Structure 1
Amino acid sequence: MLTTPSQIHWAHCADDTAVLDLRSGQWQMLSGTGTRIWDAIMLRGGVEGLAEEIAVPANLDLAATRHAVDSYVERLRAMGLLVEAGPRMRRRWWGRRR
């Protein structure tokens, strides 16, 4: 499952997505299919089935579309905008029980 690191903030701007890395101060603008890929990751935690959603209605080559989606995700990871989500920590209650 993919997620954003804590220093990454993003917002939709019209049909695009603006992504800010607070550590580097760099902005990335995602548009078109890039925004669609980003949204799938933010909503589902990954891009499973997204290539089919893109390729089938547009009559595109499915293998090429899968490769393009996977390459785009790897590029986002290389830029530090996405990371693998770690296991969820259980919240501990440090106070006394009554």
Structure 2
Amino acid sequence: MAQSSEKDPAIAVPATRHGRRTDWLHAGQALQHVWLLATAHGPRMSPLHQALERPDLREFLSPGPDRTGRMHLLMRLGHGPEGAVTPGSTPGHVFGEGRPNG
């Protein structure tokens, strides 16, 4: 049986004024920073992108008063049960060493 997660998680939203390439880069760097900090200090982070795939919700959640800002992702931060360990791969497997075309 699955364990329940925290009832009141925090929601973080990396947002920028525009949707330029540099804005996407900065939002990605902020996401990486928050995810690494959460990992180091205990909370779990779950990316939630589905809400932003709907234009009406994306506009509703836009950070600017004139609704011109660009939200990049919703991030759920909270405490939950331990997840299963993901098996790792060797560098040789990842980079194709030892394969006929590697």
Could you say whether these structures have the same fold, taking a TM-score greater than 0.5 normalized by the shorter chain as the test? no
Higher relative contact order (CA 8 A, sep 6+): 2
Looking at secondary structure, tell me which structure has more strand per residue.
1
Structure of higher CA gyration radius:
2
Could you state the TM-score of these two structures normalised by the residue count of structure 2? 0.29
Could you state the TM-score of these two structures normalised by the residue count of structure 1? 0.29
